[in-house]
Each structure stands twice: as structure tokens, then as C-alpha cells.
Amino acid sequence: MNKNLFLALIGVLIGFGCQTSQEEKAIQLSELSISEIHEAYLSGDYTAEQLTRAYLGRIDSLDERINSISVINGEALNQAKALDQELKNTGKLRPLHGIPLIVKDNINTKGLPTTAGSLALKDFIPDEDAPIIAKLVDAGAIILAKSNMAEWAFSPMHSESSTFGTTRNPYNLDHVPAGSSGGTGAAVAANFGTVGLGTDTGNSIRGPSSHNALVGFRTTLGLISRTGIVPLYLRNDVVGPMCRTVEDATRVMEVMVGIDPKDPLTEYSKGKTEVDYQQFLVKSGLENARIGVLRELTEDMDSEISGLFEKAILDLESLGAEVIDPIVIPNFSELRQNQWCATFQEDLEAFLSEYVKNDSIQTLEDIIRIGSNAQFAIDRLKMMAGNSGRWGLEAEDCGNVYEDPRRIAFREAIEAVMDSLQLDAIVYPSWNYPAARIERFQEEYRGDNSQIISPHTGQPAFTVPMGFTNNDLPAGLQFLGRMYSEPTLIRLIYAYEQGTKHRKPPKISEPRKE
């Protein structure tokens, strides 16, 4: 349902704004965690229905300026009521019982539009959930809303779509939230939902998480299914949590892990996963850890971000880690080259055939014919139509992360250094520069480190807040691990988060008065 129409209707029927009940007004939404919500449900402080109403009221009051939400789920309150009744009947909570979730608008959600921010898909409503959504709903999550995104997930720089326009950074409305999962990043940062989902082809979970003071997990390629998600480059695509805390991100990730017969890459995860990832949430997790600093990614940096990064290194040491600074990856500058492959057309047309099933929207040429409201997206579509195969080496085959010789060589070089130095993780800034201004995003887009390693090697890379610049723009610290080392990364970043407590909410204006 259209967001504005739904909120207007629900305001009339059940009393949003000044008519909100005293119980709903008492819910302090800012920075609520899953564990706090579950404690409240069990103690009877409030219900899932009341919490859902409160989040919807906050979206109605504040999102007009941020533009992070594209579609409200008209069934969210009914889902909440059913979960409240279940808890009353059983006295038991599911893992994500009654937890309102923000979903990026390129992930199939039954009965809700999945537009990827495009005109071509503006009327596409899937008839089934993506497997990860089905798992999250089964775990008790409430699909609260879909979030705006960079059209077709093309841009790591900003989040502008033809369907819902431009999303702004809640910490400073003149700045970008990054892309392409900027809607989820801004929404979760602004406390419009408890947790969120993004997708990451090169940057798009970790970049917006860094720019919005969130925790973002890009997991090992193969750990989580990508079925039912509008692709960019499927060989790189990952879906993962974007949350305010490491614990919440871990709880969401834990539910999504598993083999999916429709996503062959997940077969590689067999025997390499955990049932319980929350066991690795250890406050002393940095004690005796060995952390390498990849200075090759810090050669061009904003002075404030550099200062925050140097302080982060000192904090790692004070929390018990041994920091090896710098580390050197042999032939790093050569290995990182020629890793990108233009698979958009092939991947997108497979998605259109499998899910959209519209005779007038079958090819990339159809998409180009339908057009876009954004010149950036038009230019990218034309570029995609004119390219295929490996960028810079068109004659060389592209393969998945477990079979492509270039990807394997890059990963083996990194893991060989990690093994020789007995490193638990490698760190670097998620961005070397603060969020760009919206009006100058292309010229101010600098220092995006997320694109360089993990999308190509398949390794997990997690970002966690490391502080703020003087004008209150967030910065993120990124931890890179070995394949399937999510337990180690959770342990390390949880200890860093708990030892530094950098996360703080944006200073959004008070809700408007009716």
C-alpha cells in the first residue's frame, strides 16, 4: 500500500498523532533492541501491536524529511496482533517475535511491491516471499515497511530512485546516506524500525551502515540465500542485516543462515555454519586477538576520519588486542585489478523470467525503453547494455568466488598473510571520507573501501561505528575475516562495540504537531 495513503487511513481509523494512546506514547522507541522488546513483551509493558503502531507513528511524523520508507505493509498490525495472541496462548517467544523489520525494496515480499526503485518494476508485487523473508517471518519478524534504495542498486554513492526519490542522511539532511541500501540505513538509524535488511554487491550494506552509525554484516558468499532478490551482479551479491547493535545484527543473521537449493552457492556452506551465533557475543572478545592494519587502504584520507581510525587502533589495543601495523599483502595493487564482471543483463533477465513474468518486461532493452526519472540510472542502464564479461579483460571468463582463478588468487594472498601472522581479522576504515553532500555526491564520493576486497574474495566483512566527525557525520571501522569466520568477527566487533559505545541516534527534530 502507498505509504502516505496508508498512514492517512490508519490515522483516521485508529488515531495516530495527537490521538495516540497513553500506552503507545510511553514506548521509548529510540535505540530499542530486540532483547529489550522481548523483555517488555514478557513483562506486559507493551504489545507487538502497540510497538508497531508507535513505529508507524514515528515514520508518519519524521520520514517526510528523510524519505527512507517507500511502502508501508498494510498487514503489519494484523501480523502484530496474531503474534500477541500467540504469546498469550503459549507464553513463548519466537527468535524475532514481534520485531518490526525494514526491508530493502529489491527483496521479494509477498503482497508488497518490489520495485528496485525502478519504473519498470513499480507495479511488480511478488506472490511469494524470498526464502530469507520466509525464514524471518517464521522467526516472528513483522515486515513493517520497504525502504527506498538507489535505482537497480547501481549507486554506492547515493540513494535515489525513480519510484520514491532521494533519501537523506538523518544525521545531516544535506548529505547522502550512501547507496544503494541508503533507505534501510537511514530508517534504522532514525529508529523507524528495530532492525533492517540491505543487499551488498560492492558496498551497499557496509557503506550506508558506516554513514548512518550502524552495524552492517556482509557475510561470506554462500552463507545466506540470495533467491528472490533483484540482482545487480549475482556473483557478488549478498543480503544481510543493518542494525543499531552487533547483538541485533547477529540475531537477524542467525535466522537467515542455511542452504537453499535454488541458490547453488549456498551448498558451499555445508558443514561450515553454526546454529547458535549468539554464543560469540563475548565482551572480552578482543583479549589476545591479533588484528592487522591494512595501511594500503588509508593512503588518501580525510583528517578527521584518520583521527578516528588511529583512535580505533588504540582502542583495540586497550581492549586486549595485539595490533600488527602495518601488514602488507604481496601484489595487492595488482590482485585487486580486473575483478569486476558485468553480469547485470544476464542476472536481471533471469529474475524477470522467474518472478516478474510480464511479456512487456523481459529484457534489459525493455527496461531501457521504459526509462527512468534519474539520469544517473539511465546512464548506468546504457552502460550495462553495452558491456558484458570482465571489465578490462572481456575475453576472460567470469566465475563464482569458489571457481574463478582471479578471485581465488586474491583471497589466497590475503588469507596467507593472515595465516603467517596468525591474524584474527584485518581492519581499515569503511570510508576514508565523510558522507558527501547530496548536491555534489559524484565529485565528493571518495574513499569507499568496501568495494575493494570482500565482494571479490567472498570473505566476510563487518562494519561497526567508530565515531563521528565534528559536524556529526558517522564513520565506520571495518573488520575483514577468513571465509566463514563470522563467529570470530562477531566476537571481535562485539567487544569493540561494547568497549567504545560509539553509536548514538541522529538529532532529528521533534515529531510535527497536528
Residues designated catalytic: 104, 180, 204
Q: For residue 4, give the H/E element and its range.
A: helix 3-10
Lookup: cell for 103: 526491508
- As a three-state string, the secondary structure of 227-266 is CCECCCCCCCCEEEEEECCHHHHHHHHHHHECCECCEHHH
| Cα–Cα distance measured from residue 385 to residue 470, given in angstroms and rounded to the nearest whole number | 43
* Backbone phi and psi for residue 335, each to the nearest 5 degrees, phi listed first: -65, -30
Q: For residue 334, give the H/E element and its range.
A: helix 332-335
Type of residue found at 98: G
| Cα–Cα distance measured from residue 229 to residue 181, given in angstroms and rounded to the nearest whole number | 13
Q: For residue 142, give the H/E element and its range.
A: strand 141-147
311 close to 278: Cβ distance less than 8 angstroms: no
3-state class percentages of the chain: helix first, strand second, coil last, to nearest 5: 40, 15, 45
Lookup: cell for 210: 558506516
* Backbone phi and psi for residue 320, each to the nearest 5 degrees, phi listed first: 110, 0
Instruction: Count Cβ neighbours within 10 Å for each residue of 26-38 and write b for 16 or more, e otherwise.
Output: ebebeebbbeebb
